[in-house]
Amino acid sequence: MWHDARRVRCKARTTLCAALAAVLQACATAPEPRQYALFEPVADDDVFAPAIGHWQAETRLEELTDEVAVLRARLAGDGASAAGPEPTGESALGAAYAGFRQDLRRGVVNDTVRWVQQQSGLYYRRDARGDDWPVLGELLERGADDCDGMDLLTFSMLRRLGFAPGEIYRAILRHRDSDLHHIVTLWFEPGHRADPWLLDSTGEVSEAVRPLSEHSDWEPLRLFDETRSYSVRAR
């Protein structure tokens, strides 16, 4: 019995040694990963240069066209439509692209609001004197604030993630019964511009992202962003 167990252990060690030798042999013969020198100058006769150059020029033209549309909207005073148009198409691919982009942006909005509400639970603090509205650098240095500071986290994050002027605004709300004031961000999503999404960074009005019209006990008084300010008139 003892000799049988010893033979089993010896056989196991032999098998393990053989496996390790095979691994070492494979490592010794495997080719080294290639290293690339990126961002080198392009040769004059590069075969891809015409196609790349054409695409770059067309893309810049498209961006300039969008910028002109934004400027025209601003000159016309149409703040709600000042965001540049998103390319669309009539094909199934165009519809799929637009739908997927919309899903991604809604996910970004929901994730941002959820995260800022969590931070509000940790760092919400009323102003000691008066009503002091910080800029982002002051807020992050200070480390705490009330609704105007917490809302700035949502607004600034979305702006830096590509939500354009005319698409998101900060808004001052008033509670109809108590006359309390609160600051939120409104998202004028294409297709929902008449009834923007209300993004509440503290959850006082709503913890979920819902249309403004669903909060009839709160009324908007002002809309503003980095450069523009609008009053609100009930229709």
**CA–CA separation, 160 and 149 (whole Å):** 17
Model-level pTM? 0.71
Instruction: Round to whole Å and give the CA distance between 78 and 227.
Output: 14
pLDDT(129) > 80: no
Q: Are 88 and 98 in contact (CB under 8 A)?
A: yes
- Residue 224's beta-bridge partner residues? 170, 229
Residue 189: partners with Cβ closer than 8 Å, 6 or more residues away: 102, 105, 106, 167, 196, 197
Domain 95-231 has CATH 3.20.20.70: no
The answer, yes or no, to whether residue 110 has pLDDT greater than 90, is yes
Instruction: Please give the Cα distance from 174 to 235 (Å, whole number).
Output: 17
| Helix/strand number for the chain, H first, E second | 5, 6
How crowded is residue 160: how many other Cβ atoms within 10 Å of its Cβ?
A: 9
Q: What is the pLDDT of residue 105?
A: 95
The DSSP symbol for 194 reads T
Sign of the alpha-carbon torsion through 152, 153, 156, 159: negative
User: Band of the pLDDT at 122, cuts 50, 70, 90?
Assistant: very high
Banded model confidence at residue 85, pLDDT cuts 50, 70, 90: low
Confidence of residue 2 (pLDDT cuts 50, 70, 90): very low
165: pLDDT strictly greater than 80:
yes
| Helix 92-123 and helix 147-160, axial crossing angle in degrees, nearest 10 | 150
Domain positions in the chain: 95-231
**Who's near 110: CB < 8 A, 6+ residues apart?**
209
